[in-house]
Structure 1
Amino acid sequence: MCELFIMSPLQSTASDILIEPRAVDESRPLRIVVIGAGISGILAFIRLNQRVPNLDLCIYDKNADIGGTWLEANVIIQATGALNNRRWPNIPGLHDFGGKLLHSASWDVDYDHSLKWYSIQIVLGMLQQVAHIDHYVRSRTWIAPRFAREYLEQRGSELDNCEEVLHRRSGVVSLLIDSDSFLIDTFTAEEIKSFETDHQDFGRIKSEITKIDRSGIVIADGEHREVDAIVCATEFDTTHTPHFPITGRAGMTLATRWKQIPEIYLSVAVNGFPNYYTSWGSNTGLDGGNLLILIERQIDNFTQCIRKVQRDNIRALSMKANAVHLFTQYCDSCFAGTVIFPHAIEVVASPRWEDFDIEYVNNNPMSWFGDGWTQNEKLDQINVDYLDDDRVDFPQPAEIMHSVNIL
């Protein structure tokens, strides 16, 4: 348990200030735990290793091939995702069904689904391989129209030189071909044409399912449709509450904190839980574009927080309760008329330090200043990278600078 320490300038004297035996630019060693080895966990592993020196990183995952033995860490990153805890839909008689019952999140790869009649919410990947599919769906899928295509044509497709780029990364090419060859398969002309035409062996059913019996599905109008297999592509626990206890200050658990509403600042941090960050948290902008880019920006946000903790010798970086409350109010107001997280990538990319409370190691706000040395001096190293052209802040040529009147 960490106690908040606040020092007024009037309370301190020269004799009170502790000179820390550390360089001003020293990155103190940190242990970081990432919970989850999915997309967010992988991105966290990449970014943290790129940008955080003196790092001791451990990733925990529920699967047997990844694990760890730590009991303590300086920073916790929850990267468990939102679609990792599947459930069977609450439909009367579901488990009385006599055919094959499948879930999209736990697929039986050995099951032969050819020549079968299906009830399913996953269509495109199986349409060419089954005798018939009934697609039960409440409404049509909304897809944003394309935009700015004319600018892409003017610039030229960025895929034009993808082969050249991949040739420079031969290890990546071989890895993709060996492990994910299905990703580089292309559709034949016949397959593309089949996607654009109506299928007699496909039915879209919007009527509510009332029950399931041994041979099939009964819908609201009383019709009974016999099927060989049912695929459930719905029902996940998306409450964002972790499936393991996380306890913050004053003994408050995250489950209790989020019992009424999962309040979280910019989808990444919660007050009362210092040095704790979550990827793809509540209010993450799922409709804001490419999800991977947004997760990368969230990881960038964490990384900057971690670097500040390292360089400034900070013990705890905590969200202010008022910042969380104001963001919740903003969401309630903004999302009353839209589901789009406005400019999510720009908003999440960098932390706003004024929204954090900061507590320092040894309760010493001047500990960041160190003992008057730099790391290079202590280690007898010479670093002149600042002389490289890409590190020098050259002024722009006079002809492109704004005119300045000197009075």
Structure 2
Amino acid sequence: MSPDQSPNHTDANHRQFTPGNFAIDEYRPIRVAVIGAGISGIVAGARFPQKVPNVELTIYEKDDGVGGTWYRNRYPGLACDIPAHCYQLTFEEKKDWSGLYAPGTEIREYLQGIVDKHKLMRFIKLHHEVVGAQYNECTGKWHVRVRHIDPDTGARSELEDVVDILVPAVGVLSRWDWPDIDGLRDFQGELHHTAGFDPQEKTWQEIADDWKDKKVAVIGVGSSAIQLVPAIQPKVQKLYNYVRGKTWLAVPFASNTFATLLDRGPDGAEDYRFSAKEIERFKTDEDFYRRFRTVMENDMNSMHAATLRGSNLQEQATQLFEANMRRKLVKKPWIAESLMPTFPVACRRLTPGPGYLEALVEDNVEFVQTPIKRVTKTGIETIDGQHHELDIIFCATGYDTSFQLPFEIVGRKGVHLNDKWQPHPTTYLTMCVDEFPNMFMVLGPNSGIGSGSMLIMIEYEVMYAVQATLKMQRERLKSIEVKREALLDFDAYLESYFPKTVYSEKCRSWYKMGAEDGRVVGLWPGSALAAVKAITYPRWEDFNYEIIDPTSNRFYWLGDGQTYSEKTMTGDRAWYLREEFLDIPPGK
């Protein structure tokens, strides 16, 4: 057989094609739509233009400002429940937090500052609510329907945006509703939901100046209630906290560490405000600030073992929290017996709640654990017949944690995402769903963090979406879709992981869609550090691909064999010598 007749040569002839008439890095335009301008949307606004060439980015936000849950929530006492220095982005530091737990106003200012610094409003469309998105299998595009309400006239209009990549970034704790309590709407006093409280042009402190003669009820014992109660207790005549369930109150996270780092005395751990001198030191002493932030992050990332059943850290945390709760409730010890759970620490979301236990023992506070029967025109009646006259009711009763989106996302063959997520959501690494190509979620199901900071998860999930977008653009792909078997394998991992954790114990939590038992759908299966390690480098073999060009050759994207700078004789043709590309071994 002659060389020309060899099988390899014949096969090559059959696979010949015409290379593309473009440079390998002459990237096609690519359009990206992000749903939501919360922290995830803000990070996307910073990273996509930075990393993706020739990108057209639009971030749709239904509210009239940025920040997501931090923009919408304005209730008294709102604050972050992890140390402020751990609740900031890796690429945007803030050195003048007023305290260990940053108030909501400062977090909103921080996020707005990032938007202003990076000029992200050029990508963000406020008053634009996404009401639907449908994938077109023929074109590989997402058709996004958006409702716009003119803030000045109230006029409504609807537009359609056609994009290559869809990034839902709506978050989990973003949709609230009133609790199902008989007679709630009959109440003739002030009625507020913590997520719907809006002081508008005033601060809540200014509004609370009128509450000194008021009788106020707070319904709930979740994170919002635990912050709300100590904030308004000194402002009102009488405060009733209606508590249905039980909860652990954590010793404030990293409080001893921060006090030690600041060279405070033995009582400094319970003073959570930074002094002017300490703030100035953060701003002027870079080494001190760097060490403070690093040590605090290390401390926050050292708590994973507490989430494991029977671990030493779990037992230590239980003993510590119980002793702390009993000590702070010594004036009303029966509250400790009523409030302290039998389920393990961290089974439901932990919050330190500085000041909550101290507020409960004040003379003007009544802790009510008898279930509510109904709300009347003038107050609340419990099932034992007791009635409390009230002027103001705050419902601190949480969010819709069903993981059912408030708009339709329709994938291949008309599959609706909400239908696919019945009875519970399933995803690939929390970000992708089979039958929904070119869609990468941020803070989707199972992306919550049980130990560590949520912000690092957000950053790495956004970068995952960025990497997928770059791959689509670089390799001229029409679609990238996770394989069904890869999604099912991750789902099996979830089911196998959580039984060894405290999250699978019997306790009502948004981690389990508000149920006491059942599947954990709110949390990543592991720590924040493990999560970012898992998603830093995508497993491209877990995806199926379609090529956008009319060829079957997977290397069509190599183009005409040159780079754009060579083709046009412009730009840097020695870029690999620039400092940011050098990777010099450290030597011996």
TM over 0.5: yes
Give how far 1:15 is off: 5.0
TM-score by length of 2: 0.56
Q: Is the alpha carbon distance of 1:117 and 1:358 closer, same or farther for their aligned partners in structure 2, counting shifts above 3 Å?
A: same
State whether structure 2 residue 173 is matched by structure 1 residue 89.
no
Look up the match of 2:538.
351
State whether structure 2 residue 273 is matched by structure 1 residue 140.
no
Give how far 1:57 is off: 0.7
Matches within 5 A, 1:8-407: 13=13, 16-63=16-63, 65-67=126-128, 69-109=159-199, 114-115=211-212, 116-120=214-218, 121=225, 122-137=228-243, 138-143=245-250, 146=253, 162-164=282-284, 198-338=361-501, 339=503, 341=524, 342=526, 343-362=530-549, 363-364=551-552, 365-383=554-572, 384-397=574-587, 400=588
- Unaligned 5+ residue runs, structure 2? 1-9, 65-125, 129-145, 147-158, 201-206, 219-224, 265-277, 287-353, 504-522
| Contact 1:288–1:344 under 8 Å retained in 2 | no
Q: Is the alpha carbon distance of 1:165 and 1:310 closer, same or farther for their aligned partners in structure 2, counting shifts above 3 Å?
A: farther
- Give the partner amino acid of 2:217: S
Give how far 1:268 is off: 0.9
- Of structures 1 and 2, the one with the larger relative CO (CA 8 A, separation 6+) is 1
| Contact 1:300–1:350 under 8 Å retained in 2 | no
**How far apart are the structure 1 equivalents of 2:279 and 2:486?**
42
| Contact 1:211–1:219 under 8 Å retained in 2 | yes
Residue range with higher mean Cα deviation, 226-235 or 246-255: 226-235
Look up the match of 2:87.
none
**How far apart are the structure 1 equivalents of 2:385 and 2:500?**
37
**How far apart are the structure 1 equivalents of 2:182 and 2:479?**
50
Query: Secondary structure of the equivalent of 2:444?
Result: coil
**How far apart are the structure 2 equivalents of 1:352 and 1:212?**
54
- Unaligned 5+ residue runs, structure 1? 1-9, 167-191, 401-407
Give how far 1:48 is off: 1.1
Give how far 1:18 is off: 4.1
Look up the match of 2:110.
none
Residue range with higher mean Cα deviation, 254-263 or 358-367: 358-367
Q: Is the alpha carbon distance of 1:156 and 1:283 closer, same or farther for their aligned partners in structure 2, counting shifts above 3 Å?
A: farther
For residues 346-397 of structure 1, give each alpha carbon's deviation from its aligned partner in whole angstroms, at most 9, with x where no partner exists: 2233322121112221254112212101121123224133223442222322
| Contact 1:102–1:108 under 8 Å retained in 2 | no
Residue range with higher mean Cα deviation, 122-131 or 140-149: 140-149
| Contact 1:133–1:203 under 8 Å retained in 2 | yes
Give how far 1:97 is off: 1.3
For residues 298-321 of structure 1, give each alpha carbon's deviation from its aligned partner in whole angstroms, at most 9, with x where no partner exists: 111111111111111111110111
- Give the partner amino acid of 1:371: D
**How far apart are the structure 1 equivalents of 2:42 and 2:440?**
15
**How far apart are the structure 2 equivalents of 1:131 and 1:304?**
56
**How far apart are the structure 1 equivalents of 2:183 and 2:257?**
53
Q: Is the alpha carbon distance of 1:389 and 1:37 closer, same or farther for their aligned partners in structure 2, counting shifts above 3 Å?
A: closer
- Give the partner amino acid of 1:395: P
Give how far 1:274 is off: 0.3
For residues 208-263 of structure 1, give each alpha carbon's deviation from its aligned partner in whole angstroms, at most 9, with x where no partner exists: 22221112122343322222111112242222222111111111111211122211
Q: Is the alpha carbon distance of 1:193 and 1:40 closer, same or farther for their aligned partners in structure 2, counting shifts above 3 Å?
A: closer
Give how far 1:156 is off: 10
| Contact 1:139–1:206 under 8 Å retained in 2 | no
Q: Is the alpha carbon distance of 1:163 and 1:211 closer, same or farther for their aligned partners in structure 2, counting shifts above 3 Å?
A: same
**How far apart are the structure 1 equivalents of 2:166 and 2:437?**
9
**How far apart are the structure 1 equivalents of 2:16 and 2:34?**
37
Q: Identity of aligned pairs, percent?
A: 31
| Contact 2:36–2:168 under 8 Å retained in 1 | yes
Look up the match of 1:403.
none
Equivalenced residues, count: 364
| Contact 1:134–1:202 under 8 Å retained in 2 | yes
Two-structure CA RMSD over aligned residues (Å)? 3.2
Give how far 1:77 is off: 0.5
Q: Is the alpha carbon distance of 1:366 and 1:390 closer, same or farther for their aligned partners in structure 2, counting shifts above 3 Å?
A: closer
Query: Secondary structure of the equivalent of 1:304?
Result: helix
Q: Is the alpha carbon distance of 1:193 and 1:352 closer, same or farther for their aligned partners in structure 2, counting shifts above 3 Å?
A: closer
**How far apart are the structure 2 equivalents of 1:13 and 1:59?**
47
Give how far 1:153 is off: 6.1
| Contact 1:270–1:324 under 8 Å retained in 2 | yes
- Give the partner amino acid of 1:43: V
| Contact 2:380–2:387 under 8 Å retained in 1 | yes
TM-score by length of 1: 0.80
Residue range with higher mean Cα deviation, 336-345 or 309-318: 336-345
**How far apart are the structure 1 equivalents of 2:255 and 2:12?**
59
**Higher fraction of helix:** 2
Q: Is the alpha carbon distance of 1:294 and 1:204 closer, same or farther for their aligned partners in structure 2, counting shifts above 3 Å?
A: farther
**How far apart are the structure 2 equivalents of 1:284 and 1:88?**
26
Residue range with higher mean Cα deviation, 200-209 or 326-335: 200-209
For residues 75-106 of structure 1, give each alpha carbon's deviation from its aligned partner in whole angstroms, at most 9, with x where no partner exists: 00111122332211011111111211101121
For residues 40-77 of structure 1, give each alpha carbon's deviation from its aligned partner in whole angstroms, at most 9, with x where no partner exists: 21121111122112110111122363447552100001
